[in-house]
Structure 1
Amino acid sequence: MVPVHMRRSLPVLLLCLSSCATTPGNVSLRSDGTPGPEECPQKALEAMRILGLSVGDAAEVELDVNQTDASPITLYDGPVESMLNSPLGPFPSVSRLYGRVWTGGPQAVIRYYEVQPPEREPIPICAVARLGLGQLRKKPESKPGTAILEFSSAALYIVNSFR
């Protein structure tokens, strides 16, 4: 349930930010192919503050909506559409997440730049997919530009910058 004060803020926030599409910037790659540091855009920091999302807030996410509940899954370098499996602050499960996947290193790196609640405009955020114990680690049979992962879901964490 979304608190009353947030229900009033969400339409105003959506109106203010709907024209501000957030896309990944030019991210330098490390020698192992993983993305380097990236600042969280000011609009995303502002949106997360207004919505009451804090660094470390977490939810469960289905990594690729086209491979829900599959095992294993294959992720490709580039854009990804994911879906919340559990609520995140004011966002209900089934909200869509838009981000980017990098597969160059020993594990997949997934950064999210937008969340889109049902029947609403996308809102800028900064979040990452994580799993403990190396569970985003690529399977040995992964070809260049892909990451074959054992699990289709992971934890999503709000961040204030990408490291």
Structure 2
Amino acid sequence: MRYLRLRVGDAALADLDANQIDARRISLYDGPIESILKDDIGTLEATTRLYGQVWTSGPQVVIRWYEAHPPDGDKVPICAVARLSRDQMRKLPESKPGMAILDGSVAAAYIVDSFR
């Protein structure tokens, strides 16, 4: 992570799902996800693609990103999670098993040292 000039706690906004940018409500499903950075973070510039995994089984959606693909570079491993305060990652009541409906399509991508 030092190579990318990323430190634990660094954060930038990201569109959670590359296929649902600027949607008021988005539907996320268990499995792989492709997100897009809206802001620069370390040496990763806006429009960098983030690849990771979504889990929807709990009351809140969990998104972990394992890989970043800058627009003019090679894929690199990262360790980041999606976070929003005030329960904004909480699933809406109409969510069905294996999926989650969220208000909004953006969250902060936070750099972490490991997944817990």
TM-score normalised by length of structure 1 = 0.70
Alpha-carbon distance in 2 for matches of 1:127, 1:91: 13
- The share of aligned pairs that are identical, in percent, is 61
Q: Deviations over 1:70-96 (max 9, x none)?
A: 010000000000000000111110000
Match of 1:53 in 2: 6
Match of 1:109 in 2: 62
Q: 1:93 aligns with which of 46, 49, 53?
A: 46
2:113 aligned with 1:160: yes
**Offset of residue 49 of structure 1:** 1.6
Partner SS, residue 134 of structure 1: coil
**Offset of residue 119 of structure 1:** 2.7
C-alpha contact (below 8 Å) 2:4/2:44 kept by paired residues = no
2:33 aligned with 1:75: no
Alpha-carbon distance in 1 for matches of 2:66, 2:77: 6
Alpha-carbon distance in 2 for matches of 1:154, 1:54: 18
Alpha-carbon distance in 1 for matches of 2:15, 2:113: 22
Q: 1:123 aligns with which of 76, 91, 106?
A: 76
In structure 1, stretches of 5+ residues that fail to align are 1-47
Runs of 4 or more, structure 1, over 4 Å off, are: none
Q: Greater helix share, 1 or 2?
A: 1
Partner SS, residue 50 of structure 1: helix
Alpha-carbon distance in 2 for matches of 1:127, 1:94: 16
C-alpha contact (below 8 Å) 2:36/2:50 kept by paired residues = yes
CA RMSD for the aligned pairs? 0.6
Q: Deviations over 1:91-145 (max 9, x none)?
A: 1100000000000000100000001000321100000000000100000000000
Alpha-carbon distance in 2 for matches of 1:123, 1:114: 6
The structure, 1 or 2, with the larger RCO (C-alpha pairs under 8 Å, 6+ apart) is 2
Q: Greater strand share, 1 or 2?
A: 2
Alpha-carbon distance in 1 for matches of 2:3, 2:82: 22
Match of 1:33 in 2: none
Alpha-carbon distance in 2 for matches of 1:87, 1:51: 11
